[in-house]
Amino acid sequence: MAKISIPDTNLIYNEIHALFPNARCELLYDSDFHLLIAIMLSAQTTDISVNRVTPKLFAKYRTISDLSNAHIHEIEDIIKSIGLYRNKAKNMKALAERITNDFNGNIPSSQKELESLPGVGRKTANVYLSEWHKIPRIAVDTHVKRVSVRLGMADEKDSPEKVEEKLMKIFQEEKWIEIHHLLIFFGRYFCKAIKPECHQCPLLPICTKPLL
């Protein structure tokens, strides 16, 4: 991995912020419960796909209790356009039952307890904590890892947890939530896996894997 310098760190932040000054969570939700479900559904699919099904899903299951009492096939029918929908439906119901039975119907706010819930891994917990509770976190998805590797902030072999650790050392804690959104937007809309916009990228001078 190329040793990232403070000037390079500032450049990365400034240039991506200039491209996407309004980077934010694009999932639609109206409660902590619906946010957590939307994040779970977004695994290995797009936020756009999730936002297509959640209005109907959330209208039918307004509360954790509603979902815990749902029939699996009804959940599957609503989210069947999303990848891995059967497994996600199973985890959603199990999560609602677990929160109802073990947490008095309240979503836990600690990293450890969140990750103990069915279908909730470190990335999902990080996104939830940063978005709902505004706790500084950098959630690493495929976009964040790809951009981090291309810009010399991480190695290809690094696990998501290792990339997260490196990014938290590179950027100041007060910027963690923002840099998470910036790196996602940059990877999703500019530094894409296929046909990235290298020819007009302001960060091309420090890119380790230009695809010109």
Q: What helix, strand, coil percent values describe the chain, rounded to 5?
A: 60, 0, 40
Residue type, 133: H
- Choose, from 123, 145, 158, 166, the residue flagged as catalytic: 123
Residue pointed to by tokens 């996104």: 127
Round to whole Å and give the CA distance between 195 and 207: 15
Q: What are the C-alpha distances in Å from 141 to residues 58, 104, 122, 162, 163? A: 25, 31, 10, 12, 10
- Choose, from 141, 145, 158, 166, the residue flagged as catalytic: 141
How many CB atoms sit inside 10 A of residue 1's CB?
14
Round to whole Å and give the CA distance between 22 and 193: 22
Annotated catalytic residue 66: no
Annotated catalytic residue 141: yes
Round to whole Å and give the CA distance between 56 and 150: 39
| Angle between helical axes of 47-60 and 32-41 (0-180°, round to 10) | 140
- Using CB atoms within 10 Å of the CB of residue 165, give its burial: 0 to 12 exposed, 13 to 18 middle, 19+ buried: middle
What are the catalytic residues? 123, 141
